[in-house]
């Protein structure tokens, strides 16, 4: 369930509830930080495997 919600969050699927402009910006920043974190994990895994 958590993975499904995370994937829907990252892929910009519509979520329920009213959104203000500040909330939309916050969600955008959160998406960027999640993607950067996942990218850093991939880089670390590649470096440790070599």
**N-term to C-term CA, the chain:** 33
Report the predicted TM-score, pTM, of the whole model to 2 decimal places. Answer: 0.60
**Could you tell me where the beta strands, DSSP code E, fall in the chain?**
none
More confident residue, 17 or 40: 40
Q: Which tens digits make up the pLDDT trace of 13-36?
A: 666 666 788 878 888 898 899 889
Q: Domain residues for 6?
A: 2-49
pLDDT classification of 8: cutoffs 50, 70, 90: confident
According to DSSP, residue 40 is labeled H
- The total of structural domains in the chain comes to 1
Q: Is 29 helix (H, G, I), strand (E, B) or coil?
A: helix
What pLDDT, on the 0 to 100 scale, is given for residue 31?
A: 86
């Amino acid at each position: 369930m958590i993975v499904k919600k995370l994937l829907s969050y990252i892929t910009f699927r519509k979520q329920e509830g009213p959104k203000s402009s500040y909330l939309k910006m916050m969600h955008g920043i959160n998406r960027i930080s999640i993607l950067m974190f996942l990218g850093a994990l991939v880089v670390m895994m590649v470096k440790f495997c070599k």
